[in-house]
Chains A and B, each alone.
Chain A
Amino acid sequence: MIDVNRDGEVWVFAEQEDGRLSDVPLELLGKAQELAGRLGVLVGAVLLGEKVAPLARILTAHGADKVYLVEDPVLAHYQATSYSHVICRLIEQHKPQICLYGATPLGRDLAPTIASAMRCGLTADCTDLQIGDHKIARTGEVHEKLMFQIRPAFGGNIIATIVNFDRWPQMATVREGVMRMPEPEEDRQGEVVESAADLGDLGLPLKLIETHRREKKVNLKAARIIVAGGAGVGSRENFQQIWNLANCLGAAVGGSRAAVDLGYVDHDHQIGQTGTTVRPALYIACGLSGAVQHRAGMAESAKILAINTDRDAPILSIAHYGIIGDLNEVIPKMIKTIRRGAAAGVEN
């Protein structure tokens, strides 16, 4: 735990694997710039690994004013013990007021370990971060310019805003795709602050025996059109309709958490607070009620079309187009119409 430090920087943990940065720290740098702007402080990126110095330039281009670089062969592979040890020391030394982490498997392993060691707060899977004042109702005491950590909670029935006003740093994890990645500015200048890992006799408890990586099968973030299905699709067989429509439109296939849990579609396709966040030109939600966690991952789509048998489904209240009907009847009609349109286009 560090004391409240109003001059503290806004930090982003620069997750990398084998010398390649993930998207999420770059996305977070955009948000960090915004928060730091409100607070009048600098943005720092924390970069650990072996031979990762060239990545500092990318972090600077995306908004880091300082890059805290720690290189050591021992940091080549992530371990909670070594990474948290190094980062806790950096936090104690430089006293940032905010630390942000990607809510990746690694980030969700590291951030709570650091929070426990620092005895500070941590909010998981935030869908928004803002700066604001917090008043304690009981005493009337006001804490100014805190980081509001905003997330759906409790099965998506509520949106909770969490603050941490005394035991700093204020820490949060954010899913990939939630924040917009800033355009890199190649000539942006930044400072690299190098330090040694200095792990002393800290033993590494885990020995890596074997590793196997697989590429994600779908790239939802890059898709211009997404056709997504929810629990209302009813079966894995019916989900074929979603694939058919997607094929016809050259679109990517998405699913709600319920559809993934029911086994209709693979986890790589999950959209929402605990899946991928997307902003396509067109989002077609089929048999998908639209719980707030799902909407958190797609509400910024330019156009939303909802096909649902339930007129009261929440998805309809954010949709631009709605068809109240059975997707098993509506989708084949759509495919037929689109094909006819394409054929007509060729004739013309």
Chain B
Amino acid sequence: MAINYVVCVKQVPDTKRITGEAMKEDGTVNRAALPAVFNPEDLNALEAALDVRDRCGGTVTVVTMGPPSACEVLRTSLCLGADRAILLTDRKAAASDTLATSYILSCAVRKLSADMVFCGRQAIDGDTAQVGPQLAEKLSMPLVTYVEELMDVTDAGFRARRNVGNGWEVVECRLPALLTVMDTANTPRPPAGRRIMKYKKARSAMEVAAEVDQADPDATDADKAVETEKRIDALRQRGLLIEQWNLAEIGADLSWCGRDGSPTKVHRIQAVVLAGGEYHELPPTDEGVAELIGELIQDHTIG
């Protein structure tokens, strides 16, 4: 079967290891100051797609929207087994909220004529879980959220077990469709050594241009352009070129992208202030504990 699988992934700041300067003054995220990782549940989404492809055939295309540095998650995807990787990058996409993001992704997914779209349930930077459902609506595709198991995939449809919080249910759905995948769905495979050796060399056009510039900063622009083109051609021939699309190339209406396309605006960002009340510290000794328990019994909190 030639099912066309598209997986939407995101490079996210590692929210467990946040340092200072995490936010810019305008309230948007200062990604440069943060270690970036592959959003964990997007790895589960990719694994689900790779698993179905391995069983049923077809091709897996991974799409990410982000700055040029987001190529890192695409390289990882290729190492894990993706057939094709696309970077959606455009300055005009900056400051997009979930609605604008899902609109931009929908333009790219439509261009790819996807049969099955996989998203992670949510990203750890925002935890909103909104882009998957919004993308399904934009694509007029059935939405199957919280998928834990995928069964009986054919080019007509599939069955999925969904975790609905207070239990689970099995639903049947036709293709095309969009699924959001839970972390409990699978254990992402480790990358194959052979693929790592090959795909660690994958680059986007922007990355190639930056490398050429770095290699010989004093060369003329014309020479740099020639060298860049040469390297891009070589990568393309070896299947190592990460495709790069901008908003014009996916036919996106700019009024629905970036800040203009985002109905939600930041009113205020506050550092977290702790409201301290009356505080009583007790030593970790028998006496300290006895005093504490005594007080709590005295005021009828316990006992």
- If A120-B263, A208-B169 touch, whether A320 touches B279 (CB-CB below 8 Å) is yes
Given A125-B127, A157-B272, A158-B272, decide whether A164 and B282 contact each other with a Cβ distance below 8 A.
no
Please measure, in the bound complex, the distance between the C-alpha atom of A106 and the C-alpha atom of B145, giving whole angstroms.
9
Collect the chain A residues with CB atoms within 8 Å of residue B126's CB.
Answer: 124, 153-154
Choose one: A108, A155, A205, A211; the contact of B129 (CB below 8 Å).
Answer: A108
Contact A157 B22 (CB under 8 A): yes
Closest residue of chain B to A315 (Cβ to Cβ) is B274
A98-135 contacts to B (CB < 8 Å)? 104-106, 108-109, 111-113, 115-117, 119-125, 132, 134
Q: Which of the 9-residue segments B53-61, B84-92, B94-102, B216-224 touches chain A? A: B94-102
B193 interface residue (CB < 8 Å to A): no
Q: What is the minimal beta-carbon distance from A191 to any residue of chain B, in angstroms?
A: 30
Given contacts A154-B18, A154-B29, contact A121 B263 (CB under 8 A): yes
**Is the pair A119, B288 in contact by a Cβ cutoff of 8 Å?**
no
Nearest-Cβ distance from residue B75 to partner chain A, whole angstroms = 25
Q: Cβ of A164 and Cβ of B98 under 8 Å apart?
A: no
Chain A residues whose C-beta falls within 8 Å of the C-beta of B98 in the assembled complex: 112, 115, 122
Instruction: Say yes or no: B169 contacts A210, CB within 8 Å.
Output: yes
A154 to B169, CA, bound (A): 32
**A322 an interface residue at 8 Å Cβ cutoff?**
yes
Among A112, A134, A160, A164, the one with the most B-chain Cβ atoms within 10 Å of its Cβ is A112
User: What residue of chain A has the Cβ atom nearest to residue B165's Cβ?
Assistant: A105
Name the A residues within 8 Å of B7 (CB-CB).
none
Q: In the complex the two chains form, is A213's CB within 8 Å of B166's CB?
A: yes
CB within 8 A of A206: which of B171, B266, B269, B274? B171
Check A159–B171 contact: CB distance below 8 A: no
CB distance from A342 to the nearest CB of B (A): 7
A338 touches B282 (CB 8 A): no
In the complex, what distance in Å separates the CA atom of A225 from the CA atom of B124?
30
Contacts of B112-149 to chain A: CB distance below 8 A = 124-138, 142-146
Known A-B contacts A105-B145, A333-B286; the reply to A122 vs B130 at CB < 8 A is yes
Please report which residues of chain B, range 261-303, place their CB below 8 angstroms from some CB of chain A when the two chains form the complex: 262-272, 274-286, 288-290, 292-297, 301-303
Q: Is B15 positioned at the interface, with any CB of A under 8 Å from its CB?
A: yes
Contact A209 B170 (CB under 8 A): yes
**Residue A326, interface by CB 8 Å:** yes
**B97–A338 touching, CB < 8 Å:** no
Q: Is the CB of A320 within 8 A of B277?
A: yes
Whether a CB of chain B sits under 8 angstroms from the CB of A325 is: yes
A243 interface contact, C-beta 8 A: no
Contact check: which of B22, B133, B264 meets A164 at CB < 8 Å? B264
* Alpha-carbon distance A59/B236, docked complex (angstroms): 62
Inter-subunit contact B269/A341 (CB<8 Å): no
Contact B169 A116 (CB under 8 A): no
Residue B172 at the chain A interface, CB threshold 8 Å: yes
Q: Is B231 an interface residue (CB 8 A)?
A: no
Contact assessment for A167 and B263 in the assembled complex, using a CB-CB cutoff below 8 Å: yes
B27 at the interface (CB under 8 A from A): yes
Known A282-B301, A326-B284, A330-B284; judge A116-B99 contact (CB<8 A).
Answer: yes
**Docked complex: A228-270 residues within 8 A CB-CB of B:** 249
Interface: B156 (CB within 8 A): no
Contact of A211 among B16, B136, B169 (CB under 8 A): B169
| Chain A residues in 8 Å Cβ range of B138 | 116
B15 near A154 (CB under 8 angstroms)? yes
B36 to chain A, nearest CB (A): 13
Q: A245 → chain B, closest Cβ, in Å?
A: 11
A162–B267 touching, CB < 8 Å: yes
Interface membership of B173, Cβ < 8 A: yes
Q: A122, A156, A165, A273 — which one has the most chain B CB atoms within 10 A of its CB?
A: A122
Bound state CA distance, A51 and B146, in angstroms? Answer: 28
Contact B297 A341 (CB under 8 A): yes
Q: Flag B1-32 by CB within 8 Å of A: 1 or 0 each.
A: 00000000000010110100011000101000
Residues of B with C-beta under 8 A to A124: 126-130
In the bound complex, do residue A317 and residue B282 qualify as a contact, i.e. CB atoms below 8 Å apart?
no
Q: In the assembly, what is the distance between CA of A205 and CA of B176, in Å?
A: 10
Are the C-beta atoms of A206 and B142 separated by less than 8 Å? yes
| CB of A334 within 8 Å of the partner chain | yes
On whether A134 and B270 interact (CB within 8 A), knowing A207-B171, A318-B275, A322-B280, the answer reads: no
Cβ-closest chain B residue relative to A249: B302
B167 an interface residue at 8 Å Cβ cutoff?
yes
Q: Is B245 an interface residue (CB 8 A)?
A: no
Q: Is A140 an interface residue (CB 8 A)?
A: no
Across the interface, name the chain B residue whose C-beta is closest to A273. B127
Using CB atoms, name the residue of chain A closest to B144.
A206
B39 to chain A, nearest CB (A): 13
- Selected from B143, B164, B278, the residue in CB contact (under 8 A) with A80 is B143
Decide if B208 is an interface residue (CB 8 Å cutoff). Answer: no
Asked if A186 lies at the interface with its beta carbon under 8 angstroms from chain B, I say: no
Report which residue of A111, A116, A125 has the largest number of chain B beta carbons within 10 angstroms of its beta carbon: A116
Q: How far is the CA of A303 from the CA of B300 in the complex (A)?
A: 12
User: Contact at B125–A154, with CB atoms within 8 Å?
Assistant: yes
Q: In the assembled complex, how far is the CB of residue A145 from the closest CB belonging to chain B, in whole angstroms?
A: 13
Chain B residues engaging chain A, CB cutoff 8 angstroms: 13, 15-16, 18, 22-23, 27, 29, 97-99, 102, 124-138, 142-146, 159, 163-174, 177, 256, 262-272, 274-286, 288-290, 292-297, 301-303
- The 4 A-B pairs at the shortest CB distance, nearest first, are namely A325-B284, A155-B15, A205-B142, A121-B263
Known: A157-B18, A208-B171. 5 other contacts (CB 8 A): A113-B136, A116-B137, A154-B22, A318-B274, A338-B303
